Amino acid sequence: MLDFILLDPTFSCCTLSAAVLKIGTLYYSLSLWSQGAIAAADFVVATSLSLLIISEARNLSKRFLEFFEHIGNIANGVFTIVQPHEIIDQDSAIAHSITHGQIEFRQVNFSYSLGKKVFDNLSITIQPGQRVGLVGFSGSGKSTFVNLILRQFDPQSGEILIDGVNIQDMTQEALHSQISLIPQDPSLFHRTLIENIRYGRLDATNEEVIEAARQAYAHDFIAQIKEGYDSLVGERGVKLSGGQRQRIAIARVILKDAPILILDEATSSLDSITEKAIQDTLDLAMNGKTVIVVAHRLSTIAHLDRILVFDQGRIVEDGSHAKLLARHGAYYRLWKMQAGGFLPVEANNQNVSELHTTG
């Protein structure tokens, strides 16, 4: 008990002053009463008043503690919001419009933090209109590759060019408005479903939004919700499953119709029947666009023009599905290893090239 009192100064201070007030009032009023200076009623009023003062003082100190806690939380929140953007447009940045959709990595070096490099001198060109699949074990750098194209991060050295223009010379608004992305785990805004889909193209009419939802196989489940397209999404509205959120994200992309399309495991949360149905829509959406598809399920990218096999930040194989299978290399091993169409998270700590050499 003594330890507790010594360790918590607010406790000891409050309790001590409360005890002093209580005992002091009791002692003083008792002595006055015994001398006949006050009546019994005065004695009762004095003691109950002192108890009231103690309990209100305790409440007040609690409120003060809460008040300063809230001030701290608000200060933290404001500090987070007013952080300057890490990546800002250069003054000379232009709103370049992407006409062909060629993507080039030129000697790119990138690491998230000092020390471990994700890409070491990576150079690769993706031709306009090419549909490219990225494969490799978890952590091999596939998402980082697409994040760099979207300029979520700047490489430490080297250049990323779209149609020959360094993306650092483009405004981020121009860059992002011309690249569609279906991320690994799409998030929705706390808005209505129709607003969430319209985010793909803000000037789209209701009919266009609904048509995009139909193509993305989202219309049927939206129609089943009580308020349909006007349902609010989020904590106080409808909560959607991963697959439903992916379909909303696909509808956004169909509406946006940008020249570059990036799918990061876009159909990973869908059941196989919906996935099969959506695959046709996605193939249609890919028409005439430069497309990058990240997939764990190799069957979803086997039909693409080109496959890049990532291994610890390096591209160890590059070619079509048929060509890579014929090589009997890393991709062939991965294809063989698929149990039920999925890549294992890792292959007993082997990397892809080891798989290649250990036969």
Binding residues for ligand ATP (CB under 6 A): 112, 118, 136, 138-144
Tell me which of ligand ATP, Mg ion, none is bound by residue 269, counting a contact when its beta carbon lies within the kind-specific cut-off of 5 to 8 angstroms.
none
Q: 138-157 mask for Mg ion (x: CB under 5 A)?
A: -----x--------------
Contact call for residues 129 and 286 (beta carbons, < 8 A): no
Q: What count of Cα atoms within 13 Å lies in the side-chain half-sphere of residue 288? A: 4
Tell me the CA distances in angstroms from 122 to 102, 110, 315, one per residue in order.
Answer: 16, 9, 8
Closest to Mg ion by CB, 170 or 313: 313
* Site for Mg ion contains 172 (CB under 5 A): no
Closest to ligand ATP by CB, 137 or 229: 137
Q: Find the shortest distance in angstroms from Cβ 112 to ligand ATP.
A: 3
The rounded Cα 84 to chain-centroid distance in angstroms is 19
Q: Find the shortest distance in angstroms from Cβ 230 to ligand ATP.
A: 35
Q: Find the shortest distance in angstroms from Cβ 235 to Mg ion.
A: 27
- Tokens at residue 41, please? 């009623």
**Residue with the two structure tokens 């002093």:** 20
Q: Which of 119, 130, 129, 200 is nearest to 160 (CA)?
A: 119
Q: Write the CB contacts of 6 (distance below 8 Å, at least 6 apart in sequence).
A: 12
CA distance 287 to 308: 20
Tell me which of Mg ion, ligand ATP, none is bound by residue 198, counting a contact when its beta carbon lies within the kind-specific cut-off of 5 to 8 angstroms.
none
Tell me which of Mg ion, ligand ATP, none is bound by residue 128, counting a contact when its beta carbon lies within the kind-specific cut-off of 5 to 8 angstroms.
none
Size of the site for Mg ion (CB under 5 A): 1
Tell me which of ligand ATP, Mg ion, none is bound by residue 218, counting a contact when its beta carbon lies within the kind-specific cut-off of 5 to 8 angstroms.
none
Q: Write the CB contacts of 329 (distance below 8 Å, at least 6 apart in sequence).
A: 316, 317, 356
Q: Which of 318, 258, 315, 269 is nearest to 291 (CA)?
A: 258
Closest to ligand ATP by CB, 254 or 295: 295
Q: Find the shortest distance in angstroms from Cβ 140 to ligand ATP.
A: 4
Q: Which of 238, 252, 235, 112 is nearest to 179 (CA)?
A: 252
Q: Find the shortest distance in angstroms from Cβ 111 to ligand ATP.
A: 8
Q: 98-137 mask for Mg ion (x: CB under 5 A)?
A: ----------------------------------------
Closest to ligand ATP by CB, 218 or 249: 249
Q: Which of 2, 302, 278, 17 is nearest to 131 (CA)?
A: 302
Contact call for residues 150 and 98 (beta carbons, < 8 A): no
Q: Find the shortest distance in angstroms from Cβ 265 to ligand ATP.
A: 7
Closest to Mg ion by CB, 218 or 261: 261
Contact call for residues 247 and 218 (beta carbons, < 8 A): yes
Q: Find the shortest distance in angstroms from Cβ 351 to Mg ion.
A: 16
Q: Which of 154, 156, 105 is nearest to 126 (CA)?
A: 105
Tell me which of Mg ion, ligand ATP, none is bound by residue 55, counting a contact when its beta carbon lies within the kind-specific cut-off of 5 to 8 angstroms.
none
3-class DSSP state of 207: helix
β-strand pairing of 314-319 with 306-311: antiparallel
Closest to ligand ATP by CB, 118 or 334: 118
Q: Find the shortest distance in angstroms from Cβ 143 to Mg ion.
A: 3
Closest to ligand ATP by CB, 185 or 227: 185
Q: Which residues bind Mg ion (CB under 5 A)?
A: 143
